[in-house]
Every structure is written in C-alpha cells, then in structure tokens.
Amino acid sequence: MTIYKLAAIDIGSNAIRLLISNVIEKDKFTKPFFSKNSLVRVPIRLGEDTFGSGSINKKNILRIVKAIKSFKYIMEINEVDDYIACATSALREAKNGKQVVERIFNETNIKIELIDGKREAELIALTDLENFFNPKKIYLHIDVGGGSTELTLINGKKIIDSKSFKIGTVRILKKMVSNNEWNFFEKWIENKTKKYRGISLIGSGGTINKIFKISGKKIGKPLSYIFLCKQYEKLKKQSFEELIINHQMNPDRADVIVQAVNVYLLAMKLSGSTKIYVPKIGLADGTIKLLYLRNKKKGIS
C-alpha cells in the first residue's frame, strides 16, 4: 500500500479553503481511495470587493497573502507531497486580480491558477460521483458558490453537458445578478433536462452541506424537495442573529443561506427533481483528483 498526501487551495468569492487529502493506493489493480485529512476555511469575502467596486481592496489583499502564507506552513507541517491552487470568479474578474496573484507568488512562491467557469465545472465533476449514486440514472449536479453556480448533467459516469452561470450568493446579496443571467440559467436547465424522467440533484457547496447537517440525515440519504421548501420558509423568517444562534452558523454563511437555498430549489423545480443528494464534495476535491492524475501521468506518484 502507498499513501500520498495532496493539497488543494481554493480561493472563492465567499471564503478561501485549504484541503489536505490522503490518496491511498492499495495496489496497481485497485482504484485509489481519497480520504480528507484536514480542511481549513478562512472567511475572506472577495466577492464583496469585486462585485461591488470591481477590485480587491488593500485590506483583503493583505488578508489573502497572510492566509496563503499560513496555508504554506500548514502544508509543510503536514509534509504534503504536492499541491495545486485555484481562484474562481471573484479574483478572476477583479481589475487587479492578476496583480494580486503576482503578489501572492512573490511573497509565498505559490502560483495561483485563475480558472474560468467552464473549468470550474469540469474540476467539480472530476470527483468520483459514481461512487455515491446509481450509474444508470440521470443526475444534475449543482454547485452554488459565492460568485457562480456550476451545473453539470451526468448520465452514469458520462458528463452530458456543463455550464457556469454568474449566479452566486454574494452576487445575489449585492444585487449583481441580471435578469438575463437568471433567464439563461432557467432555460439551460429546462432545455437540458426536459427529455429525461426521474432526475435527481447532487448538491455541493457550503450552504447545502449546512442544510444537510441541520436535517440530521445519514450520509447517502437524500433531502426531499418538500423538506427543502420547509427549511427555506423557516430560514426566511429568522433574523441574521437568530440564524447564527439557532443553527451555530458562521456569520458569512448566515447572510447568504436563504439566497443559496432558493437557487437549489429553483434547480429542483425546473428539472422536475424531487430529491437532492449531498455527498459533501466540491472544487477542492476535484482539484485533488486532477493533481493526482497529473502526477500519475508524469510518473511521480
């Protein structure tokens, strides 16, 4: 048996994350097993800067650099074999995004890859979804982030189509989502799913993970559309302070959770889905998988 330790840095619109995973190879005939070792989340909301003023402000640039420095030390302490770092819409769309990436590299020697929405959807889809669900069924995978929402239609192990939309919780909060974008989102789901019956959703993102935790369901059991509707109504009636206290919610989750749940519900309604599975996977998990595959191809692993 061989064990590798790989890491992924995900610079999102609502937070920055470091995921460290163990990749376990039993032998050359068995698929590797990916096991989460640790996850560090820092609530730096870059989306408020980019979707508001168009640039990352000086205070948050300093916070990003400090966060990446700390991630570097954590990776060194954990003796990580290799890592990859990606940034999504907030840093990609910021006017000074490239300068921020250059500063991070100059001060930490960590290179940040600015990925577009399509690439983000591809990375999320790299996660081993077939390990969680019936490979003979159709699934619509939806990942709601702070700056964008990625949709991927999956038939067994085959990706039928994927699309990224500039619809994210921070954008919605800042009233930065156009009616056209909402229309594109709705039409894409309707057009891509209309010929299929019995579609189930796969939900990823911090918000749906929190809702799943609130539900008390066992891992692998889906949430129903009715349950999600009821949760949405309950959450909508609670104040910011009540959400934090009643559900032990982080402040940067409490102010966007209602908007996020609404996006999941809309996707379920448009696709005719009555249930959503929550396997707790996301961009960082897909990035770890990509890193492993790259290293295998190079003969490093």
Predicted pLDDT at 299 = 64
Q: Which residues sit opposite 223 in a β-bridge?
A: 276
* Residue 239: pLDDT over 70: yes
One domain for residues 141 and 68: no
- What is the average pLDDT score of the chain? 90
* Residue 130: pLDDT over 70: no
One domain for residues 89 and 40: yes
- Lowest mean per-residue pLDDT among 35-44, 79-88, 132-141: 132-141
* Highest-scoring range by mean pLDDT, 29-33, 170-174, 234-238, 279-283: 234-238
One domain for residues 269 and 136: yes
Tell me which of 36 and 191 has the higher pLDDT. 191
Residue 222 covered by a domain: yes
Predicted pLDDT at 108 = 96
Tell me which of 208 and 131 has the higher pLDDT. 208
Question: Residue 176 belongs to what domain range?
Answer: 128-281
Predicted pLDDT at 181 = 97
* Residue 206: pLDDT over 60: yes
Overall domain count for the chain: 2
Predicted pLDDT at 301 = 45
Residue 238 covered by a domain: yes
Assign 134 to helix, strand or coil.
Answer: coil
pLDDT tens column, 44-96: 999 999 998 999 999 999 999 999 999 999 999 999 999 999 999 899 999 99
Q: Please report, for the domain that includes residue 100, its CATH number.
A: 3.30.420.40
Predicted pLDDT at 25 = 84
Assign 195 to helix, strand or coil.
Answer: coil
Residue 123 covered by a domain: no
CA pseudo-torsion sign 147, 251, 44, 84: negative
Q: Please report, for the domain that includes residue 177, its CATH number.
A: 3.30.420.150
The pLDDT confidence band at residue 296, using thresholds 50, 70 and 90, is confident
One domain for residues 71 and 201: no
The first and second tokens of residue 139, run together, are 């699934």
Question: Cα separation of 289 and 18, whole Å?
Answer: 15
User: Where would I find the H helices in the chain?
Assistant: 46-50, 58-77, 89-93, 97-108, 117-125, 169-173, 179-193, 206-215, 225-236, 240-247, 251-254, 257-271, 283-298
